[in-house]
Amino acid sequence: MDAVASWTGRTACLLQQAMRMTNEAFAERLGISERTISRWHAAPEMVHRTEVQQILDIAYEEAEPAVQRRFALLMRPPAPRMEAQALRVAIAVVLRGDDVLLVCRRGDGELRWQFPAGMVKPGAAPETVAVQETHGETGVHCTIREQLGERIHPKTLVAASYYLADYLAGDAANLDPLENVDVAWVPRAALTRFIPQDQIFPPILSALEAAA
Protein backbone atom coordinates (compact mmCIF):
# COMPACT_ATOMS: atom_id res chain seq x y z
CA MET A 1 0.00 0.00 0.00
CA ASP A 2 1.04 3.65 -0.41
CA ALA A 3 1.97 5.71 2.65
CA VAL A 4 -1.07 7.00 4.48
CA ALA A 5 -2.48 10.34 3.36
CA SER A 6 -2.26 11.83 6.84
CA TRP A 7 -0.47 10.28 9.80
CA THR A 8 -2.25 10.23 13.15
CA GLY A 9 -1.27 8.96 16.55
CA ARG A 10 -3.01 5.68 15.74
CA THR A 11 -1.39 5.09 12.33
CA ALA A 12 2.05 6.04 13.65
CA CYS A 13 1.64 3.51 16.45
CA LEU A 14 0.53 0.89 13.91
CA LEU A 15 3.77 1.52 12.01
CA GLN A 16 5.66 1.04 15.27
CA GLN A 17 3.77 -2.22 15.80
CA ALA A 18 4.58 -3.36 12.26
CA MET A 19 8.25 -2.62 12.90
CA ARG A 20 7.99 -4.51 16.22
CA MET A 21 9.83 -1.79 18.08
CA THR A 22 9.64 -0.55 21.63
CA ASN A 23 8.86 3.11 22.28
CA GLU A 24 12.56 3.70 22.89
CA ALA A 25 13.68 2.00 19.67
CA PHE A 26 10.94 3.65 17.57
CA ALA A 27 11.82 7.07 18.98
CA GLU A 28 15.47 6.50 18.13
CA ARG A 29 14.53 5.33 14.62
CA LEU A 30 12.52 8.52 13.99
CA GLY A 31 14.90 10.85 15.78
CA ILE A 32 12.34 12.13 18.28
CA SER A 33 11.82 11.77 22.02
CA GLU A 34 10.36 8.69 23.66
CA ARG A 35 7.90 10.94 25.49
CA THR A 36 6.47 11.99 22.10
CA ILE A 37 5.82 8.35 21.20
CA SER A 38 3.98 7.89 24.50
CA ARG A 39 1.77 10.88 23.65
CA TRP A 40 0.85 9.26 20.34
CA HIS A 41 -0.36 6.16 22.18
CA ALA A 42 -2.42 8.33 24.50
CA ALA A 43 -3.96 10.41 21.69
CA PRO A 44 -4.66 8.13 18.70
CA GLU A 45 -6.80 10.75 16.91
CA MET A 46 -4.14 13.49 16.92
CA VAL A 47 -2.88 14.59 13.47
CA HIS A 48 0.87 15.15 13.28
CA ARG A 49 2.62 18.33 12.17
CA THR A 50 3.99 18.53 8.63
CA GLU A 51 7.58 17.77 9.66
CA VAL A 52 6.48 14.69 11.63
CA GLN A 53 4.33 13.57 8.66
CA GLN A 54 7.51 13.68 6.52
CA ILE A 55 9.53 11.74 9.09
CA LEU A 56 6.87 9.00 9.19
CA ASP A 57 6.64 8.92 5.36
CA ILE A 58 10.37 8.30 5.16
CA ALA A 59 10.28 5.65 7.89
CA TYR A 60 7.53 3.79 6.05
CA GLU A 61 9.19 4.07 2.63
CA GLU A 62 12.52 2.82 3.99
CA ALA A 63 10.92 -0.07 5.87
CA GLU A 64 11.46 -3.62 4.65
CA PRO A 65 8.69 -5.18 2.52
CA ALA A 66 7.71 -7.48 5.39
CA VAL A 67 7.14 -4.45 7.63
CA GLN A 68 5.06 -2.74 4.93
CA ARG A 69 2.93 -5.89 4.54
CA ARG A 70 2.34 -6.09 8.28
CA PHE A 71 1.43 -2.40 8.35
CA ALA A 72 -1.06 -2.93 5.50
CA LEU A 73 -2.71 -5.76 7.46
CA LEU A 74 -2.89 -3.65 10.61
CA MET A 75 -4.48 -0.79 8.67
CA ARG A 76 -7.35 -2.93 7.43
CA PRO A 77 -10.68 -2.11 9.09
CA PRO A 78 -11.84 -4.81 11.50
CA ALA A 79 -14.21 -7.38 10.08
CA PRO A 80 -17.86 -6.76 11.05
CA ARG A 81 -18.91 -8.69 14.10
CA MET A 82 -21.31 -11.49 13.31
CA GLU A 83 -24.00 -11.65 15.92
CA ALA A 84 -25.38 -15.09 16.56
CA GLN A 85 -29.05 -15.24 15.82
CA ALA A 86 -31.15 -16.51 18.68
CA LEU A 87 -33.03 -19.72 17.98
CA ARG A 88 -36.51 -18.77 16.80
CA VAL A 89 -39.62 -20.80 16.08
CA ALA A 90 -42.79 -19.79 14.27
CA ILE A 91 -46.02 -21.21 15.71
CA ALA A 92 -49.36 -21.45 13.92
CA VAL A 93 -52.65 -21.48 15.83
CA VAL A 94 -54.90 -22.79 13.05
CA LEU A 95 -58.68 -22.46 13.41
CA ARG A 96 -61.32 -24.46 11.57
CA GLY A 97 -64.72 -23.48 12.87
CA ASP A 98 -64.71 -24.29 16.58
CA ASP A 99 -61.61 -26.48 16.36
CA VAL A 100 -57.90 -25.74 16.68
CA LEU A 101 -55.13 -27.85 15.14
CA LEU A 102 -52.65 -29.62 17.43
CA VAL A 103 -49.76 -32.04 16.98
CA CYS A 104 -48.51 -34.52 19.57
CA ARG A 105 -44.71 -34.44 19.71
CA ARG A 106 -42.15 -36.90 21.01
CA GLY A 107 -39.43 -35.46 23.19
CA ASP A 108 -37.56 -35.87 26.46
CA GLY A 109 -39.22 -39.23 27.08
CA GLU A 110 -42.72 -37.76 27.06
CA LEU A 111 -45.49 -36.87 24.65
CA ARG A 112 -46.62 -33.26 24.42
CA TRP A 113 -49.50 -31.69 22.55
CA GLN A 114 -48.70 -28.35 20.98
CA PHE A 115 -49.45 -26.11 18.00
CA PRO A 116 -47.66 -26.78 14.69
CA ALA A 117 -44.30 -25.03 14.71
CA GLY A 118 -41.04 -24.83 12.83
CA MET A 119 -37.55 -23.41 13.23
CA VAL A 120 -36.98 -20.07 11.50
CA LYS A 121 -33.71 -20.02 9.55
CA PRO A 122 -31.77 -16.73 9.16
CA GLY A 123 -33.43 -14.54 6.54
CA ALA A 124 -36.72 -16.47 6.53
CA ALA A 125 -40.07 -14.80 7.29
CA PRO A 126 -41.59 -16.37 10.44
CA GLU A 127 -45.15 -16.16 9.08
CA THR A 128 -44.09 -18.08 5.96
CA VAL A 129 -42.39 -20.71 8.12
CA ALA A 130 -45.57 -21.08 10.20
CA VAL A 131 -47.65 -21.81 7.09
CA GLN A 132 -45.09 -24.12 5.50
CA GLU A 133 -44.40 -26.12 8.64
CA THR A 134 -48.12 -26.57 9.32
CA HIS A 135 -48.57 -28.06 5.87
CA GLY A 136 -45.38 -30.12 6.14
CA GLU A 137 -46.36 -31.60 9.50
CA THR A 138 -50.10 -32.05 9.05
CA GLY A 139 -51.05 -31.65 5.39
CA VAL A 140 -53.28 -28.70 6.32
CA HIS A 141 -53.17 -25.55 4.21
CA CYS A 142 -53.73 -22.33 6.16
CA THR A 143 -53.40 -18.59 5.81
CA ILE A 144 -52.17 -16.15 8.43
CA ARG A 145 -54.86 -13.89 9.89
CA GLU A 146 -52.69 -11.94 12.36
CA GLN A 147 -49.60 -12.09 14.51
CA LEU A 148 -50.40 -12.74 18.16
CA GLY A 149 -47.03 -11.67 19.53
CA GLU A 150 -43.64 -12.98 20.56
CA ARG A 151 -42.01 -14.26 23.73
CA ILE A 152 -39.19 -16.40 25.06
CA HIS A 153 -40.85 -19.77 25.51
CA PRO A 154 -40.82 -20.60 29.25
CA LYS A 155 -40.01 -24.28 28.67
CA THR A 156 -37.71 -24.35 25.62
CA LEU A 157 -36.20 -20.85 26.16
CA VAL A 158 -36.24 -20.12 22.41
CA ALA A 159 -37.74 -17.00 20.83
CA ALA A 160 -41.25 -17.83 19.66
CA SER A 161 -43.45 -15.92 17.18
CA TYR A 162 -47.17 -16.79 17.30
CA TYR A 163 -49.64 -16.45 14.43
CA LEU A 164 -53.40 -16.92 14.29
CA ALA A 165 -54.25 -18.73 11.06
CA ASP A 166 -57.40 -19.82 9.22
CA TYR A 167 -57.88 -23.28 7.72
CA LEU A 168 -58.02 -23.40 3.92
CA ALA A 169 -57.91 -27.05 2.84
CA GLY A 170 -56.43 -30.48 3.51
CA ASP A 171 -57.08 -33.44 5.73
CA ALA A 172 -55.12 -33.41 8.99
CA ALA A 173 -52.64 -36.28 9.07
CA ASN A 174 -49.33 -37.06 10.73
CA LEU A 175 -46.85 -36.39 7.93
CA ASP A 176 -43.83 -36.22 10.23
CA PRO A 177 -43.83 -39.51 12.17
CA LEU A 178 -40.23 -39.03 13.32
CA GLU A 179 -41.22 -35.97 15.34
CA ASN A 180 -44.93 -36.51 16.00
CA VAL A 181 -47.15 -39.36 17.05
CA ASP A 182 -50.51 -37.79 16.23
CA VAL A 183 -52.34 -34.81 14.73
CA ALA A 184 -55.83 -33.75 15.79
CA TRP A 185 -58.47 -31.06 15.53
CA VAL A 186 -59.37 -30.20 19.12
CA PRO A 187 -62.41 -28.18 20.26
CA ARG A 188 -61.28 -24.77 21.44
CA ALA A 189 -63.16 -25.26 24.68
CA ALA A 190 -61.12 -28.41 25.38
CA LEU A 191 -57.69 -26.94 24.53
CA THR A 192 -56.48 -26.79 28.13
CA ARG A 193 -57.07 -30.54 28.48
CA PHE A 194 -54.27 -31.03 25.97
CA ILE A 195 -51.96 -28.10 26.84
CA PRO A 196 -51.84 -26.79 30.44
CA GLN A 197 -53.26 -23.28 30.56
CA ASP A 198 -50.12 -21.86 32.21
CA GLN A 199 -48.10 -23.01 29.20
CA ILE A 200 -50.33 -21.30 26.63
CA PHE A 201 -49.27 -17.83 25.47
CA PRO A 202 -52.05 -15.59 26.92
CA PRO A 203 -52.76 -13.76 23.60
CA ILE A 204 -53.68 -17.17 22.14
CA LEU A 205 -56.42 -17.66 24.73
CA SER A 206 -57.65 -14.11 24.13
CA ALA A 207 -57.76 -14.68 20.35
CA LEU A 208 -59.63 -17.96 20.75
CA GLU A 209 -62.19 -16.34 23.02
CA ALA A 210 -62.69 -13.47 20.56
CA ALA A 211 -63.12 -15.92 17.69
CA ALA A 212 -65.77 -17.96 19.56
CB 75 within 8 A of CB 4: yes
pLDDT band, residue 13 (cuts 50/70/90)? very high
Residue 107 sits in the same domain as residue 160? yes
Residue 55 sits in the same domain as residue 111? no
At 111-144, the pLDDT tens digits run 889 999 999 988 899 999 999 999 999 999 999 9
Secondary structure of the chain: what % helix, strand, coil (to 5)? 40, 30, 30
Note down the domain range covering 29: 9-75
Number of compact structural domains in the chain: 2
Q: pTM to 2 decimals?
A: 0.60
Q: Write b or e for each residue in 166-193: b if 16 or more Cβ atoms lie within 10 A of its Cβ, otherwise e.
A: ebeeeebebebeeebeebebbebeebee
3 inside domain: no
Return d(Cα 144, Cα 165) in angstroms, integer: 4
